Amino acid sequence: MTKNFVEELRWRGMLHDVMPGTEEQLNKERTSGYIGFDPTADSLHIGHLAQIMTLLNFQKAGHKPYALVGGATGMVGDPSGKSQERNLLSEDVLTHNVACVKQQLEKFLDFSGDNAAEMVNNYDWFKDFKFLDFIRDVGKHITVNYMMAKDSVQKRLESGLSFTEFTYQLVQGYDFYWLNAHKGCKLQMGGSDQWGNIVTGTELIRRKSGGDAFALTTKLITKADGTKFGKTEGGNVWLDPKKTSPYTFYQYWLNTSDEDAANFIKIFTQLTREEIEALLAEHATAPHLRKLQHVLAKDITTRVHSVEEFDKAVQATNILFGNATTDELKSIDERTLLELFAGVPQTTISKAALETCANVTELLSVATNSLVFASKGDARKMIQAGGVSINKAKVADPNHAVAFDLLQGKYLLAQKGKKNYYLIVVE
Protein backbone atom coordinates (compact mmCIF):
# COMPACT_ATOMS: atom_id res chain seq x y z
CA MET A 1 0.00 0.00 0.00
CA THR A 2 1.31 3.42 -0.93
CA LYS A 3 -0.82 5.41 1.53
CA ASN A 4 -3.51 5.07 4.17
CA PHE A 5 -6.81 5.20 2.31
CA VAL A 6 -9.01 6.06 5.30
CA GLU A 7 -6.65 8.82 6.38
CA GLU A 8 -6.62 10.14 2.81
CA LEU A 9 -10.42 10.44 2.84
CA ARG A 10 -10.33 11.94 6.33
CA TRP A 11 -8.01 14.86 5.49
CA ARG A 12 -9.87 15.47 2.23
CA GLY A 13 -13.05 15.93 4.28
CA MET A 14 -14.79 13.01 2.57
CA LEU A 15 -15.12 10.39 5.33
CA HIS A 16 -18.49 9.93 7.04
CA ASP A 17 -18.76 6.47 8.64
CA VAL A 18 -16.39 3.53 8.81
CA MET A 19 -17.15 0.13 10.30
CA PRO A 20 -14.83 -0.99 13.13
CA GLY A 21 -11.95 -3.08 11.79
CA THR A 22 -12.07 -1.54 8.30
CA GLU A 23 -8.96 0.59 8.68
CA GLU A 24 -7.02 -2.33 10.15
CA GLN A 25 -8.05 -4.54 7.22
CA LEU A 26 -6.95 -1.93 4.67
CA ASN A 27 -3.61 -1.39 6.37
CA LYS A 28 -3.01 -5.14 6.67
CA GLU A 29 -3.25 -6.13 3.00
CA ARG A 30 -4.35 -5.14 -0.46
CA THR A 31 -8.13 -5.27 -0.33
CA SER A 32 -10.80 -5.42 -2.98
CA GLY A 33 -13.66 -2.97 -2.55
CA TYR A 34 -16.58 -1.72 -4.59
CA ILE A 35 -19.05 1.09 -5.12
CA GLY A 36 -22.36 0.72 -6.93
CA PHE A 37 -23.47 3.09 -9.68
CA ASP A 38 -27.03 3.52 -10.83
CA PRO A 39 -27.30 3.12 -14.64
CA THR A 40 -30.68 4.80 -15.05
CA ALA A 41 -29.14 7.38 -17.45
CA ASP A 42 -26.59 7.02 -20.25
CA SER A 43 -24.21 9.39 -18.48
CA LEU A 44 -22.96 9.99 -14.97
CA HIS A 45 -23.17 13.53 -13.62
CA ILE A 46 -21.03 15.45 -11.14
CA GLY A 47 -23.21 14.17 -8.31
CA HIS A 48 -21.41 10.83 -8.92
CA LEU A 49 -17.94 12.37 -8.81
CA ALA A 50 -17.41 11.98 -5.06
CA GLN A 51 -17.88 8.22 -5.40
CA ILE A 52 -15.68 8.06 -8.49
CA MET A 53 -12.96 9.97 -6.62
CA THR A 54 -13.37 7.60 -3.65
CA LEU A 55 -12.62 4.66 -5.96
CA LEU A 56 -9.70 6.56 -7.47
CA ASN A 57 -8.22 7.25 -4.02
CA PHE A 58 -8.84 3.61 -3.12
CA GLN A 59 -6.89 2.45 -6.18
CA LYS A 60 -4.09 4.98 -5.61
CA ALA A 61 -3.72 3.58 -2.09
CA GLY A 62 -2.84 0.21 -3.66
CA HIS A 63 -6.21 -1.52 -3.41
CA LYS A 64 -8.35 -3.11 -6.11
CA PRO A 65 -11.54 -1.21 -7.04
CA TYR A 66 -14.69 -2.68 -8.50
CA ALA A 67 -17.32 -0.44 -10.07
CA LEU A 68 -20.64 -2.23 -9.89
CA VAL A 69 -23.34 -1.03 -12.26
CA GLY A 70 -26.81 -2.02 -11.18
CA GLY A 71 -28.20 -3.55 -14.35
CA ALA A 72 -30.55 -5.58 -12.16
CA THR A 73 -31.14 -3.06 -9.37
CA GLY A 74 -31.78 -0.39 -12.01
CA MET A 75 -34.89 -2.41 -12.84
CA VAL A 76 -36.02 -2.21 -9.21
CA GLY A 77 -35.20 1.18 -7.68
CA ASP A 78 -33.44 2.14 -4.45
CA PRO A 79 -35.70 3.93 -1.93
CA SER A 80 -32.72 5.57 -0.16
CA GLY A 81 -33.11 9.34 -0.28
CA LYS A 82 -36.10 9.07 -2.62
CA SER A 83 -39.59 10.41 -1.94
CA GLN A 84 -41.24 8.32 -4.63
CA GLU A 85 -40.73 5.16 -6.64
CA ARG A 86 -38.85 5.67 -9.90
CA ASN A 87 -39.51 4.33 -13.36
CA LEU A 88 -38.16 0.90 -14.20
CA LEU A 89 -36.02 0.53 -17.32
CA SER A 90 -35.86 -2.07 -20.08
CA GLU A 91 -32.91 -4.41 -20.55
CA ASP A 92 -31.87 -2.75 -23.84
CA VAL A 93 -31.80 0.73 -22.33
CA LEU A 94 -29.82 -0.48 -19.32
CA THR A 95 -27.27 -2.27 -21.54
CA HIS A 96 -26.67 0.97 -23.46
CA ASN A 97 -26.41 3.00 -20.25
CA VAL A 98 -23.91 0.55 -18.70
CA ALA A 99 -21.60 0.84 -21.74
CA CYS A 100 -21.68 4.65 -21.50
CA VAL A 101 -20.92 4.62 -17.77
CA LYS A 102 -17.92 2.32 -18.32
CA GLN A 103 -16.50 4.73 -20.89
CA GLN A 104 -16.70 7.60 -18.41
CA LEU A 105 -15.17 5.65 -15.52
CA GLU A 106 -12.17 4.82 -17.71
CA LYS A 107 -11.20 8.50 -17.60
CA PHE A 108 -10.61 8.17 -13.85
CA LEU A 109 -9.75 4.57 -13.01
CA ASP A 110 -6.93 2.42 -14.35
CA PHE A 111 -8.42 -0.74 -15.85
CA SER A 112 -4.99 -2.35 -16.35
CA GLY A 113 -2.08 -3.33 -14.10
CA ASP A 114 -1.72 -5.18 -10.78
CA ASN A 115 -4.67 -3.58 -9.00
CA ALA A 116 -6.68 -2.96 -12.18
CA ALA A 117 -10.19 -1.64 -11.75
CA GLU A 118 -12.95 -3.98 -12.88
CA MET A 119 -16.51 -3.26 -13.84
CA VAL A 120 -19.22 -5.74 -12.91
CA ASN A 121 -22.94 -5.76 -13.64
CA ASN A 122 -25.27 -7.33 -11.09
CA TYR A 123 -27.64 -8.33 -13.88
CA ASP A 124 -25.09 -11.06 -14.70
CA TRP A 125 -25.77 -12.92 -11.45
CA PHE A 126 -29.43 -11.96 -11.02
CA LYS A 127 -30.79 -12.74 -14.50
CA ASP A 128 -31.06 -16.49 -13.82
CA PHE A 129 -31.73 -16.25 -10.07
CA LYS A 130 -35.26 -17.61 -9.56
CA PHE A 131 -37.53 -15.92 -7.03
CA LEU A 132 -38.03 -19.07 -4.93
CA ASP A 133 -34.28 -19.65 -4.82
CA PHE A 134 -33.72 -16.02 -3.78
CA ILE A 135 -36.16 -16.05 -0.86
CA ARG A 136 -34.82 -19.44 0.27
CA ASP A 137 -31.09 -18.70 -0.07
CA VAL A 138 -31.06 -14.99 0.82
CA GLY A 139 -34.34 -13.92 2.40
CA LYS A 140 -34.19 -16.43 5.25
CA HIS A 141 -30.97 -14.88 6.61
CA ILE A 142 -32.34 -11.35 7.19
CA THR A 143 -35.36 -10.69 9.41
CA VAL A 144 -38.18 -8.30 8.53
CA ASN A 145 -37.51 -6.50 11.84
CA TYR A 146 -33.93 -5.86 10.72
CA MET A 147 -35.10 -4.52 7.35
CA MET A 148 -37.86 -2.36 8.85
CA ALA A 149 -35.41 -0.61 11.17
CA LYS A 150 -33.53 1.01 8.27
CA ASP A 151 -33.96 4.78 7.87
CA SER A 152 -34.55 4.42 4.13
CA VAL A 153 -37.59 2.22 4.90
CA GLN A 154 -38.89 4.23 7.87
CA LYS A 155 -38.92 7.49 5.92
CA ARG A 156 -41.12 5.99 3.22
CA LEU A 157 -43.66 4.13 5.35
CA GLU A 158 -46.12 7.03 5.56
CA SER A 159 -46.10 7.83 1.84
CA GLY A 160 -46.02 4.16 0.89
CA LEU A 161 -43.25 1.72 0.02
CA SER A 162 -43.73 -1.02 -2.56
CA PHE A 163 -42.58 -4.57 -1.90
CA THR A 164 -40.17 -4.09 -4.83
CA GLU A 165 -38.40 -1.22 -3.10
CA PHE A 166 -38.59 -2.90 0.30
CA THR A 167 -36.58 -5.83 -1.03
CA TYR A 168 -33.93 -3.54 -2.52
CA GLN A 169 -31.63 -3.84 0.50
CA LEU A 170 -31.69 -7.63 0.16
CA VAL A 171 -30.77 -7.35 -3.50
CA GLN A 172 -27.92 -4.93 -2.76
CA GLY A 173 -26.88 -7.08 0.18
CA TYR A 174 -26.65 -10.08 -2.15
CA ASP A 175 -24.43 -8.04 -4.50
CA PHE A 176 -21.93 -7.69 -1.67
CA TYR A 177 -22.25 -11.39 -0.81
CA TRP A 178 -21.70 -12.41 -4.46
CA LEU A 179 -18.65 -10.17 -4.86
CA ASN A 180 -17.28 -11.37 -1.54
CA ALA A 181 -17.71 -15.03 -2.55
CA HIS A 182 -16.57 -14.75 -6.20
CA LYS A 183 -14.17 -11.80 -6.24
CA GLY A 184 -12.85 -11.76 -2.68
CA CYS A 185 -14.39 -8.32 -2.21
CA LYS A 186 -14.27 -7.33 1.47
CA LEU A 187 -15.31 -3.67 1.42
CA GLN A 188 -18.37 -1.83 0.15
CA MET A 189 -18.29 1.96 -0.06
CA GLY A 190 -20.92 4.55 -0.90
CA GLY A 191 -22.56 7.81 0.12
CA SER A 192 -23.76 8.21 3.70
CA ASP A 193 -27.36 7.54 2.60
CA GLN A 194 -26.27 4.01 1.62
CA TRP A 195 -25.11 2.93 5.10
CA GLY A 196 -28.23 0.85 5.77
CA ASN A 197 -27.99 -1.05 2.49
CA ILE A 198 -24.25 -1.60 2.91
CA VAL A 199 -24.45 -3.06 6.42
CA THR A 200 -27.25 -5.38 5.25
CA GLY A 201 -24.60 -6.80 2.93
CA THR A 202 -22.05 -7.25 5.72
CA GLU A 203 -24.75 -8.93 7.83
CA LEU A 204 -25.71 -11.29 4.99
CA ILE A 205 -22.07 -12.26 4.44
CA ARG A 206 -21.59 -12.89 8.17
CA ARG A 207 -24.71 -15.04 8.45
CA LYS A 208 -24.49 -16.89 5.15
CA SER A 209 -20.77 -17.61 4.83
CA GLY A 210 -19.01 -16.20 7.88
CA GLY A 211 -16.71 -14.15 5.60
CA ASP A 212 -14.97 -10.85 6.40
CA ALA A 213 -16.89 -7.79 5.26
CA PHE A 214 -16.47 -4.10 5.98
CA ALA A 215 -18.26 -0.83 5.26
CA LEU A 216 -17.27 2.76 4.63
CA THR A 217 -19.34 5.78 3.62
CA THR A 218 -18.49 9.27 2.45
CA LYS A 219 -20.21 12.56 3.17
CA LEU A 220 -22.89 13.77 0.82
CA ILE A 221 -21.63 16.87 -0.97
CA THR A 222 -23.36 20.11 -0.06
CA LYS A 223 -22.82 23.72 -1.07
CA ALA A 224 -22.17 26.48 1.44
CA ASP A 225 -25.18 28.52 0.29
CA GLY A 226 -27.57 25.63 0.79
CA THR A 227 -28.30 25.07 -2.91
CA LYS A 228 -27.94 21.56 -4.31
CA PHE A 229 -24.49 20.55 -5.51
CA GLY A 230 -24.34 19.56 -9.18
CA LYS A 231 -27.51 21.37 -10.22
CA THR A 232 -27.90 24.41 -12.45
CA GLU A 233 -30.96 26.14 -13.91
CA GLY A 234 -30.65 23.68 -16.79
CA GLY A 235 -30.60 20.63 -14.48
CA ASN A 236 -27.77 18.18 -13.82
CA VAL A 237 -24.18 18.90 -14.82
CA TRP A 238 -23.40 15.77 -16.84
CA LEU A 239 -20.03 14.22 -17.71
CA ASP A 240 -21.22 13.60 -21.28
CA PRO A 241 -20.29 16.59 -23.50
CA LYS A 242 -23.48 16.08 -25.52
CA LYS A 243 -25.57 16.70 -22.40
CA THR A 244 -23.40 19.40 -20.78
CA SER A 245 -20.87 21.17 -22.99
CA PRO A 246 -17.24 21.42 -21.80
CA TYR A 247 -17.72 25.23 -21.64
CA THR A 248 -20.76 24.96 -19.32
CA PHE A 249 -18.96 22.26 -17.29
CA TYR A 250 -15.89 24.49 -16.91
CA GLN A 251 -18.02 27.49 -15.94
CA TYR A 252 -19.77 25.49 -13.19
CA TRP A 253 -16.48 24.93 -11.38
CA LEU A 254 -15.07 28.38 -12.18
CA ASN A 255 -18.09 30.04 -10.58
CA THR A 256 -17.95 28.19 -7.25
CA SER A 257 -17.71 30.29 -4.10
CA ASP A 258 -14.42 30.58 -2.22
CA GLU A 259 -15.76 28.38 0.59
CA ASP A 260 -16.94 25.68 -1.81
CA ALA A 261 -13.74 25.83 -3.89
CA ALA A 262 -11.65 25.23 -0.74
CA ASN A 263 -13.77 22.13 -0.07
CA PHE A 264 -14.12 20.87 -3.66
CA ILE A 265 -10.41 21.09 -4.50
CA LYS A 266 -9.72 18.46 -1.84
CA ILE A 267 -12.54 16.17 -2.95
CA PHE A 268 -12.42 16.41 -6.74
CA THR A 269 -8.70 16.67 -7.52
CA GLN A 270 -5.67 14.51 -6.82
CA LEU A 271 -3.52 17.43 -5.67
CA THR A 272 -1.50 16.57 -2.58
CA ARG A 273 -2.11 17.98 0.89
CA GLU A 274 0.97 20.20 0.54
CA GLU A 275 -0.11 21.50 -2.88
CA ILE A 276 -3.61 22.29 -1.63
CA GLU A 277 -2.37 24.03 1.52
CA ALA A 278 -0.04 26.17 -0.62
CA LEU A 279 -2.96 27.02 -2.95
CA LEU A 280 -5.21 27.95 -0.03
CA ALA A 281 -2.50 30.25 1.35
CA GLU A 282 -1.97 31.84 -2.07
CA HIS A 283 -5.73 32.31 -2.52
CA ALA A 284 -6.03 33.95 0.91
CA THR A 285 -3.50 36.65 -0.03
CA ALA A 286 -5.30 37.55 -3.30
CA PRO A 287 -8.83 36.08 -3.32
CA HIS A 288 -9.90 38.40 -6.17
CA LEU A 289 -7.66 36.41 -8.55
CA ARG A 290 -9.76 33.28 -7.81
CA LYS A 291 -6.73 31.02 -8.03
CA LEU A 292 -8.54 28.12 -6.31
CA GLN A 293 -11.41 28.20 -8.77
CA HIS A 294 -9.10 28.35 -11.79
CA VAL A 295 -7.02 25.37 -10.62
CA LEU A 296 -10.15 23.36 -9.71
CA ALA A 297 -11.89 24.09 -13.01
CA LYS A 298 -8.80 23.22 -15.05
CA ASP A 299 -8.12 19.97 -13.21
CA ILE A 300 -11.60 18.50 -13.38
CA THR A 301 -12.45 19.77 -16.89
CA THR A 302 -9.22 18.32 -18.27
CA ARG A 303 -9.84 14.97 -16.60
CA VAL A 304 -13.48 14.64 -17.68
CA HIS A 305 -13.06 16.08 -21.18
CA SER A 306 -9.51 16.80 -22.41
CA VAL A 307 -6.80 19.45 -22.50
CA GLU A 308 -8.12 20.56 -25.89
CA GLU A 309 -11.69 20.99 -24.62
CA PHE A 310 -10.39 22.85 -21.56
CA ASP A 311 -8.46 25.24 -23.83
CA LYS A 312 -11.62 25.82 -25.89
CA ALA A 313 -13.61 26.54 -22.72
CA VAL A 314 -11.00 29.09 -21.61
CA GLN A 315 -11.04 30.64 -25.06
CA ALA A 316 -14.83 30.89 -24.98
CA THR A 317 -14.66 32.50 -21.54
CA ASN A 318 -12.13 35.01 -22.87
CA ILE A 319 -14.48 35.85 -25.74
CA LEU A 320 -17.23 36.73 -23.31
CA PHE A 321 -15.22 38.44 -20.59
CA GLY A 322 -11.83 39.31 -22.09
CA ASN A 323 -10.23 40.98 -25.08
CA ALA A 324 -10.73 38.23 -27.62
CA THR A 325 -10.01 38.62 -31.33
CA THR A 326 -12.29 38.06 -34.32
CA ASP A 327 -10.30 34.93 -35.19
CA GLU A 328 -10.91 33.49 -31.70
CA LEU A 329 -14.62 34.19 -32.04
CA LYS A 330 -14.70 32.48 -35.45
CA SER A 331 -12.96 29.41 -34.04
CA ILE A 332 -15.68 28.40 -31.56
CA ASP A 333 -18.42 26.00 -32.63
CA GLU A 334 -22.07 26.98 -32.99
CA ARG A 335 -23.21 25.24 -29.80
CA THR A 336 -20.65 27.11 -27.68
CA LEU A 337 -21.43 30.39 -29.44
CA LEU A 338 -25.14 30.02 -28.63
CA GLU A 339 -24.40 28.99 -25.05
CA LEU A 340 -22.10 31.98 -24.57
CA PHE A 341 -24.72 34.42 -25.73
CA ALA A 342 -27.86 32.57 -24.65
CA GLY A 343 -29.01 35.44 -22.44
CA VAL A 344 -28.25 38.36 -24.73
CA PRO A 345 -30.87 40.17 -26.87
CA GLN A 346 -31.31 38.54 -30.27
CA THR A 347 -33.03 39.39 -33.50
CA THR A 348 -33.37 37.71 -36.88
CA ILE A 349 -33.04 39.40 -40.27
CA SER A 350 -33.07 37.98 -43.77
CA LYS A 351 -29.93 37.67 -45.86
CA ALA A 352 -31.55 39.98 -48.44
CA ALA A 353 -32.19 42.66 -45.79
CA LEU A 354 -28.57 42.41 -44.67
CA GLU A 355 -27.25 42.81 -48.20
CA THR A 356 -29.39 45.90 -48.87
CA CYS A 357 -28.26 47.72 -45.71
CA ALA A 358 -26.51 50.95 -46.75
CA ASN A 359 -23.99 50.76 -43.88
CA VAL A 360 -23.34 49.47 -40.37
CA THR A 361 -25.25 52.42 -38.86
CA GLU A 362 -28.41 51.31 -40.63
CA LEU A 363 -27.79 47.67 -39.67
CA LEU A 364 -27.56 48.41 -35.96
CA SER A 365 -30.66 50.59 -35.87
CA VAL A 366 -33.32 50.29 -38.57
CA ALA A 367 -32.53 46.84 -40.03
CA THR A 368 -32.48 45.15 -36.62
CA ASN A 369 -35.66 46.84 -35.38
CA SER A 370 -33.76 49.18 -33.00
CA LEU A 371 -32.29 46.20 -31.13
CA VAL A 372 -28.87 47.79 -30.64
CA PHE A 373 -29.64 51.48 -31.16
CA ALA A 374 -32.94 53.33 -31.10
CA SER A 375 -31.91 55.56 -34.00
CA LYS A 376 -29.28 56.07 -36.68
CA GLY A 377 -28.09 59.16 -34.80
CA ASP A 378 -27.41 57.17 -31.61
CA ALA A 379 -25.57 54.51 -33.61
CA ARG A 380 -23.48 57.04 -35.52
CA LYS A 381 -22.48 58.87 -32.34
CA MET A 382 -21.27 55.74 -30.50
CA ILE A 383 -19.47 54.33 -33.53
CA GLN A 384 -17.54 57.59 -33.85
CA ALA A 385 -16.71 57.40 -30.14
CA GLY A 386 -15.14 53.96 -30.66
CA GLY A 387 -17.72 52.05 -28.63
CA VAL A 388 -19.01 49.58 -31.23
CA SER A 389 -17.64 46.24 -32.44
CA ILE A 390 -18.90 43.64 -34.89
CA ASN A 391 -17.59 40.10 -34.36
CA LYS A 392 -15.05 41.51 -31.86
CA ALA A 393 -13.57 43.91 -34.46
CA LYS A 394 -13.89 47.63 -33.69
CA VAL A 395 -15.99 49.62 -36.18
CA ALA A 396 -14.71 53.23 -36.47
CA ASP A 397 -16.64 54.50 -39.50
CA PRO A 398 -20.45 54.97 -39.32
CA ASN A 399 -20.54 54.45 -43.11
CA HIS A 400 -18.66 51.14 -42.94
CA ALA A 401 -20.11 48.72 -45.49
CA VAL A 402 -21.98 45.69 -44.17
CA ALA A 403 -19.32 43.27 -45.38
CA PHE A 404 -18.70 41.03 -42.37
CA ASP A 405 -18.02 37.31 -42.35
CA LEU A 406 -20.95 35.52 -40.73
CA LEU A 407 -20.03 33.38 -37.71
CA GLN A 408 -20.90 29.76 -38.47
CA GLY A 409 -22.39 31.10 -41.71
CA LYS A 410 -25.40 32.70 -39.98
CA TYR A 411 -24.52 35.01 -37.05
CA LEU A 412 -23.21 38.51 -36.39
CA LEU A 413 -22.20 39.54 -32.87
CA ALA A 414 -22.62 43.24 -32.15
CA GLN A 415 -21.09 44.80 -29.04
CA LYS A 416 -21.95 48.20 -27.57
CA GLY A 417 -19.59 49.38 -24.88
CA LYS A 418 -17.80 46.74 -22.80
CA LYS A 419 -20.64 44.52 -21.65
CA ASN A 420 -23.62 44.88 -24.00
CA TYR A 421 -23.83 42.10 -26.58
CA TYR A 422 -26.45 41.51 -29.29
CA LEU A 423 -26.74 38.46 -31.50
CA ILE A 424 -28.03 38.99 -35.03
CA VAL A 425 -29.24 35.81 -36.73
CA VAL A 426 -29.12 35.98 -40.53
CA GLU A 427 -31.48 33.64 -42.36
Q: For residue range 293-323, what is the model confidence (pLDDT) as tens digits?
A: 999 999 999 999 999 999 988 888 888 777 7
From residue 357, how far is each of 2, 396, 412 by CA, in Å? 70, 17, 14
**Model pTM score:** 0.83
Compute the C-alpha angle 371/373/374, nearest 5°.
95
Q: Is the pLDDT of residue 119 over 90?
A: yes
Q: Is 207 considered catalytic here?
A: no
Q: Specify whether the CB–CB gap between 331 and 401 falls below 8 A.
A: no
Query: Structurally, what CATH architecture does the domain formed by 346-426 represent?
Result: Roll (3.10)
Residue 218, beta-bridge partner list: 15, 191
pLDDT in tens, 176-202: 999 999 999 999 999 998 898 899 899
Amino acid at 153: V
Indicate which residue of 22, 31, 48, 256 is catalytic: 48
Q: Is the pLDDT of residue 14 over 90?
A: yes
Indicate which residue of 16, 17, 82, 212 is catalytic: 82
Q: Is 45 considered catalytic here?
A: yes
pLDDT in tens, 45-59: 999 999 999 999 999
Q: Residue 417 — pLDDT band, cuts 50, 70, 90?
A: confident
Q: Is 172 considered catalytic here?
A: yes
Query: In CATH, what class is 231-322?
Result: mainly alpha
Q: Judge whether 411 is annotated as a binding position.
A: no
Q: Judge whether 34 is annotated as a binding position.
A: yes
Indicate which residue of 172, 202, 269, 368 is catalytic: 172
Q: Is the pLDDT of residue 169 over 70?
A: yes
Spans of all domains in the chain: 5-218, 231-322, 346-426
Q: Is 12 considered catalytic here?
A: no
Q: Residue 135 — pLDDT band, cuts 50, 70, 90?
A: confident
Rounded to whole angstroms, the Cα distance separating 17 from 34 reads 16
Rounded to whole angstroms, the Cα distance separating 204 from 180 reads 11
Indicate which residue of 31, 40, 104, 368 is catalytic: 40
Burial of 304 (0-12, 13-18, 19+ CB in 10 A): buried
Q: What value does the mean pLDDT take over residues 360-378? A: 89
Strand order in the sheet with 185-191: 15-18, 214-218, 185-191, 32-37, 64-69, 118-121
Q: Is the pLDDT of residue 344 over 90?
A: no
Indicate which residue of 16, 86, 183, 243 is catalytic: 86
User: Which residues are CB-contacts of 365 (< 8 A; sequence separation ≥ 6)?
Assistant: 372, 373, 374, 375, 376, 378, 379
Q: Judge whether 174 is annotated as a binding position.
A: no
Q: Is the pLDDT of residue 404 over 70?
A: yes
Indicate which residue of 228, 273, 351, 410 is catalytic: 228
Q: Is 202 considered catalytic here?
A: no
Indicate which residue of 17, 38, 193, 299 is catalytic: 193
Which of the listed ranges 123-137, 160-174, 270-284 does the model predict with the highest average pLDDT?
A: 270-284
pLDDT score of 15: 97
Tell me whether domains 5-218 and 346-426 share a fold: no
Q: Is the pLDDT of residue 158 over 80?
A: no
Q: Is the pLDDT of residue 105 over 90?
A: yes
Q: Is the pLDDT of residue 259 over 70?
A: yes
User: Which residues are CB-contacts of 341 (< 8 A; sequence separation ≥ 6)?
Assistant: 320, 413, 421, 423
pLDDT score of 66: 98
Average pLDDT score, the chain: 88
Q: Is the pLDDT of residue 260 over 90?
A: yes
Q: Is 102 considered catalytic here?
A: no
State the Cα torsion 375-381-382-388 to the nearest 10°.
80
Amino acid at 94: L
pLDDT score of 165: 72
Q: Is 40 considered catalytic here?
A: yes
Q: Specify whether the CB–CB gap between 293 and 256 falls below 8 A.
A: yes
Indicate which residue of 16, 96, 206, 231 is catalytic: 231
Q: Judge whether 421 is annotated as a binding position.
A: no
pLDDT score of 271: 97
Q: Does domain 5-218 have CATH number 3.40.50.620?
A: yes
Which three-class secondary structure string do you get for the chain? CCCCHHHHHHHCCCEEEECCCHHHHHHHCCCEEEEEECCCCCCCEHHHHHHHHHHHHHHHCCCEEEEEECCCHHHCCCCCCCCCCCCCCCHHHHHHHHHHHHHHHCCCCCCCCCCCCEEEECHHHHCCCCHHHHHHHCHHHCCHHHHHCCHHHHCCCCCCCCHHHHCHHHHHHHHHHHHHHHHCEEEEEEEHHHHHHHHHHHHHHHHHCCCCCEEEEECCCCCCCCCCCCEECCEECECCCCCCCHHHHHHHHHCCCHHHHHHHHHHCCCCCHHHHHHHHHHHHHCHHHCHHHHHHHHHHHHHHCCHHHHHHHHHHHHHHHCCCCHHHHHHCCHHHHHHHCCCCCEEEECHHHHHCCCCHHHHHHHHCCCCCCCCHHHHHHHHHCCCEEECCEECCCCCCCCCCCCECCCEEEEEECCCEEEEEEEC
pLDDT score of 83: 44
pLDDT score of 85: 46
pLDDT in tens, 63-96: 999 999 988 876 665 445 444 444 567 778 888 8
Residue 66, beta-bridge partner list: 34, 118
